[in-house]
Structure 1
């Protein structure tokens, strides 16, 4: 195991949080009602705070003089290693809700496992993230029930979102050689073990929300290798605009 592998691992987790946090921030002033608008933005802030911790640790460990801001604002699209499900456009409220539920359920079990990492800094970030993830999952689970078992229109939109997102979930559980190496040393999480906890919870909730579990299908992944959908480039154009237009600015 090299230090660079941990840098890459921390960067991946930071990218996941940063990109999904940005997607959630797009609901600011666009929520279905004021309380939910505020709740969504608070969740976004949790994700962005998590991204700061992971990216700060990656930059510190890298020792190349970069900061969390450099990693967030000056890397090109192919340098980002987030999972594809996180970069998809926010869609309607049902789409955001379904994505959050699927990711929140994954995050809770993932970070509960990462708390046991032999890397103490990753374990500390995970311990904070577990507390947030419990709240996030409780909220997205409640919305899944309200929308899925709500009106005919809310049910239709929620089922459509679930069908559209299901193929992206397989990437959540993929172990590439880097993560397999870190798993052997106790640093990383066994994603296959996370799946064993994730699937029953998700299946049970889908049934409770009167939704249909989609037929299994898998879309091409590639996020961990820097191969993304067209949507990430548009997202980064907005996210990075100020820093790229006025390089080196500090608050």
Structure 2
């Protein structure tokens, strides 16, 4: 089965994308798609009903972003359900298992802060991603606020919630460095983006009576591994689950 993406791609106004822009759209789309699936795994398992609805809404926002971005590259369904693991270009951070609720919030704090800053830069800079980024940044601002509020509640809550929030932030810290490795096709000041991210996250963590984890901010491989198609072990299992129905009934329609 072929996993190559279609060659005919472009923006809504018919402008053809460069090969670099197609790669960037794939990377950003995969980030949103994979995290959307991870958050969707909370359905029926969230600590309270209100939070189940909130996480589902965040997941749907991300899925909408993924569809728009992947459609710039090719057929969104084929890209989501028929590619092999090594063809995905998402960050390793977003593929990490949910763990407990605090770990999910730590992942969301790290990623939504990054995503809001990135989309704001893309929206202001023009180019093929500006329209999508301008719309998405409003959604992501809510995602970030949601993660920040829970970080504060858990960090400055009970001794147990404080411990769990601390552990969640520490467990995912090594995956955060990859977010700031330059992506070809995105005209962004990555160093400034990283500095703003660190300042924003540090402020929230400090207010939550916690501290930023220590240690390197790279994973088991060189930073940028997820963008190169190198993923962590949990991703393969998640992908098999996500693609199972489509692969079991190829060509089926509703």
Find 2:169's aligned residue among 156, 162, 165: 162
What residue number does 1:43 align with?
58
Structure 1: which 5+ residue stretches go unaligned? 60-66
What residue number does 1:172 align with?
179
Structure-2 change in CA distance of 1:250 and 1:190 (3 Å): farther
Would the aligned equivalents of 2:202 and 2:211 in 1 still touch at CA under 8 Å? no
2-structure distance, mates of 1:3, 1:142: 39
3-state SS of 1:86 partner: helix
Is the aligned partner of 1:132 residue 2:131? Answer: no
2-structure distance, mates of 1:109, 1:73: 29
What residue number does 1:5 align with?
20
What residue number does 1:33 align with?
48
What residue number does 1:54 align with?
69
Question: So what's the TM-score if we normalise by structure 2?
Answer: 0.89
What residue number does 1:64 align with?
none
Is the aligned partner of 1:240 residue 2:248? Answer: no
Is the aligned partner of 1:76 residue 2:75? Answer: no
2-structure distance, mates of 1:250, 1:124: 30
What residue number does 1:22 align with?
37
CA RMSD of aligned residues (A): 1.4
Would the aligned equivalents of 1:172 and 1:191 in 2 still touch at CA under 8 Å? no
Structure with the higher helix share, 1 or 2: 1
2-structure distance, mates of 1:19, 1:189: 23
Could you report, residue by residue, the CA deviation over 1:86-119 in whole angstroms, capped at 9, with x for unpaired residues?
0011110000001101111111111000103442
2-structure distance, mates of 1:73, 1:103: 23
What residue number does 1:250 align with?
253
3-state SS of 1:58 partner: coil
2-structure distance, mates of 1:23, 1:71: 17
3-state SS of 2:73 partner: helix
Q: CA deviation at 1:214?
A: 1.1
2-structure distance, mates of 1:202, 1:227: 26
Would the aligned equivalents of 1:89 and 1:231 in 2 still touch at CA under 8 Å? yes
1:116-155 equivalent positions in 2, closer than 5 A: 116-120=124-128, 122-155=129-162
1-structure distance, mates of 2:152, 2:212: 14
Is the aligned partner of 1:227 residue 2:230? Answer: yes
2-structure distance, mates of 1:249, 1:119: 36
Question: So what's the TM-score if we normalise by structure 1?
Answer: 0.90
What residue number does 1:200 align with?
199
